[in-house]
Every structure is written in structure tokens, then in C-alpha cells.
Amino acid sequence: MQMTTLLREPAKRKLLLSAGLSWLFDAMDVGIVSFVAAALAAEWKLGPQQIGFLAAINSTGMAVGAALAGAYADRFGRRAVLVATLLIFSVASGLSAFATGFAMLCALRFVTGFGLGGELPVASTLVSESFPARDRGSAVVLLESFWAAGWIAAALISFFVIPVYGWRAAFLIGAIPAIYAIYIRRAIQDSPRFQGERKLPFRSRIAAVWSAPYRSSTVALWVLWFFVVFSYYGMFLWLPTVMVLKGFSLVKSFSYVLIMTLAQLPGYFTAAYFIEKYGRKFVLVTYLLLTAASAVWFASAVSEGALIAAGLCLSFFNLGAWGAMYAYTPELYPTAIRSTGAGFAAAFGRIGGILGPYLVGFLVARAYKVTAVFGIFFAAIVVAALAVLLFGRETKGTDPDGLPAGRPLE
């Protein structure tokens, strides 16, 4: 596979590893919140709707951060914005350990989300435009695989740290990336493509994203992002709590979710292989439909074995689809508007991330069955797959800067 060849290049390997570690820290923080929510529910006597609101406020910050960071990255550079967002989310995460009440924690989680949401589309844009067309899809999916490593780290921290030292210790660990930001500032550079690109005013970039050459792609992309993020955060942030609702202890639910999380890595690696072999649309549609089927299986599973098997499939296919989505998104736009287009798509998706967890809390509080809740996510994922299948444009092997976009961007 060609990606094994590209990773022999020291500069490419260093870029992927540096951006990947920042991605890992992002995932670790998001993952910790899902485990902390289950612990807080017991310690602070929080109801399901409050847990849903905590996840929603984090996604609200991510939506704002994705839009602003994406726009600023096209103006001031990918590296500068990547470092700034890394610092914002790590400092706010560390401060979350000192929250004295639910309102204070929500405020800090908004700021944390702002940094998290801003970093992700900027990092994927930087990696995408730094690799040649034959390799960039695999490179971005490999970048996304660090998300699985971050979730595994979160599960390990939650399994070994929270039961012994409490949830505040887990948030303190989330401050570690502030130190890493000092290194990443020296380790990576903006891509030559971006450095040589004329910087456009903000209004021109927004107009270009919605101009004729990109309008249908933008609509399909926003639908894809909305429903994928809606279902992902609705399902995965609630996994530990859902396991408790199914009758398992808090510690046992943490261990089961850790096992399920391990399936994310092969999900990413298979997607990284297939995305260059069969194309972006094939991987997205196939993995999304299999995610939908896994969601129904997980919700209806009654035995421990079936529950774990369904959870493994859910993690495998859902995170493989995420990797393909991050690879696909920057390829739809030329360099001058790439980060803006990716950032606003991610920001619109985060609205789904606000609604998904809150909807679960609302329905659980009213004693809806888990099967009914996951049925909603099944439908959402199918809609996302259809949007790509019917309206998405295949980008495998294409050069976004070679598209007929010169006139709208001038």
C-alpha cells in the first residue's frame, strides 16, 4: 500500500505524528467527559437531562470553535491556529478539575469545546494539503486513527484513575497538551500550498463555499456532518450510562466500553486502505450503513456477549466512517477556502452534537426504551449515507486547486 511508502519520508512522518498527537489529546478529553458524566451523575445527583446538557454545551463550544478557527486558519495559517486551539482546550480542561458546581463546569466545558472544535478541522486540512493526491486520503484517515488512541487513553484513565482518585484527577490529566503545544509550534510548518496562496477576505471565502462549483458538495457535506455527529455523540457519550441502564455496574460498564473502543483502530486502518483503493464515497456509504445496522443490534442486544459484539461493530464502522469523512471534507475545496469550508461544515455538524446527547437525556428521563432511542440514530445515519451516495462528488485522485473555481474566488 502506498501509504507505507509515504510514511518513510521523515518530514511527512513527523507532520502526521505531531498533528496526530494533538488529535489524540482532543479525543482523550472528549472521551473523559463521557466517563466523568457517569461519575458525576452519582456524586452530584445529576439527572439524565443535566448529563445531556453537559455534553451539549461542550458541542456548542465545538461548533463556535470550528467555524472561527476554520476561518482564521485560512487567514493566519494552519499552524498558528492549531497551537492556539490546543492551548485553549488544554488549559480549560485542567481548570475543569476545580469546578465547584454544575454551572461552573458547563462554562469551562464550553471553552474546552471551543478549542477542541477549532483544532480538528484545522489539523485535517493541514495534513490533507501537505500530502500528494495519491496518499492524502490514507494520511488523513491515519490522522483520525489517533482519535481511537485518545479514546482508549480516556477509557484507561477512567477505569484506573476515576474509581481511585475521582473525576477531578481525570480532568487534570487533560491539561497535559498545554506543554505539547510548545513543541508543536516548532515541529510543524504550514504547507507550501498555503504559504503561496493569496489570502482572501472572509466574505469572499464564504461566498466561494456557496458558489456554483461547490454548492451541491457543501449541502451534501453539511448533511453528512450533521447526522454523523448527531448520532456519534448521541450514542458514544452515553455508552457508559447506557451500560448502567442495562444493569451493569459503573466499573463494569467502563471495562466494557474500553473493550468496544479497541475496535476503533482496525476500523480506521481498514478505511485507510479502502479509501485509496475504492474511493471516498464507497467507504463512507458502506461504513455508515454498517454503522446503522450495528446501532440496531446494540440497542436490541440482551446478553453480554451480543452487547460487546454489537459494540465492537458499532465502534469499528462508525470510526472508520469518521476517518473517511475527515479525509473527504478538505478535498472538496481549493486551498484558499479549504479550512473555511471544512470548518463551517464541522461547525454545522456540531449542532447535531448538541442535539444528539440532549435528545438522549430527554428521552431517557421519560423512560423511553434504548431501542427507540437508537432507532432514531439508525435513521440519521442512513440519511447521511444517502446524502453522500446521491449528491456527493468523488474526490479520489483529484486536485481541488485544479477545479474550475478561479472565477468565484477572484
DSSP labels, 319-386: HHHHHHHHHHTGGGS-HHHHHHHHHHHHHHHHHHHHHHHHHHHHHHHTT--HHHHHHHHHHHHHHHHH
Query: Is the confidence at residue 221, as pLDDT, over 50?
Result: yes
Using alpha carbons, list the distances in angstroms from residue 311 to 253, 267, 320, 350: 12, 13, 14, 23
Question: What's the pLDDT score for residue 329?
Answer: 94
More confident residue, 81 or 190: 81
- The single-letter DSSP state of residue 200 is P
Question: What's the pLDDT score for residue 236?
Answer: 77
* Least confident span in 56-65, 71-80, 298-307, 345-354: 298-307
Question: What's the pLDDT score for residue 50?
Answer: 84
Task: pLDDT band for 407, please (50, 70, 90 cuts).
Answer: very low
pLDDT (mean) for 23-43: 82
Percent of the chain surpassing pLDDT 70 = 91
Phi, psi dihedrals of residue 396, rounded to the nearest 5°: -60, 125
Question: What's the pLDDT score for residue 175?
Answer: 87
Question: What's the pLDDT score for residue 342?
Answer: 93
d(CA 387, CA 80) in angstroms, rounded, equals 34
Question: What's the pLDDT score for residue 384?
Answer: 97
Question: What's the pLDDT score for residue 271?
Answer: 92
**What does the pLDDT look like over 130-165, one tens digit per residue?**
888 788 888 888 888 898 888 888 878 887 888 888
Task: pLDDT band for 286, please (50, 70, 90 cuts).
Answer: very high
Query: Is the confidence at residue 402, as pLDDT, over 70?
Result: no
Task: pLDDT band for 387, please (50, 70, 90 cuts).
Answer: very high
Query: Is the confidence at residue 403, as pLDDT, over 60?
Result: no
Calculate the average pLDDT of the chain: 85
Tell me the whole-structure pTM to 2 decimals.
0.82
* Least confident span in 124-133, 164-173, 177-186, 337-346: 177-186
Torsion angle defined by CA atoms of residues 61, 67, 71 and 76, in that order, rounded to the nearest 10 degrees: 20
Question: What's the pLDDT score for residue 354?
Answer: 85
**Residues whose CB falls within 8 Å of the CB of residue 354, separated by 6 or more in sequence, listed in order:** 56, 59, 60, 63
**What does the pLDDT look like over 336-379, one tens digit per residue?**
899 999 999 999 998 998 888 778 878 877 878 878 888 999 99
User: Quick one: which of 347, 361, 379 has its CA closest to 231?
Assistant: 379
Asked if CATH classification 1.20.1250.20 holds for the domain at 13-185+201-395, the reply, yes or no, is yes
More confident residue, 406 or 393: 393
Percent of the chain surpassing pLDDT 90 = 38
Query: Is the confidence at residue 275, as pLDDT, over 60?
Result: yes
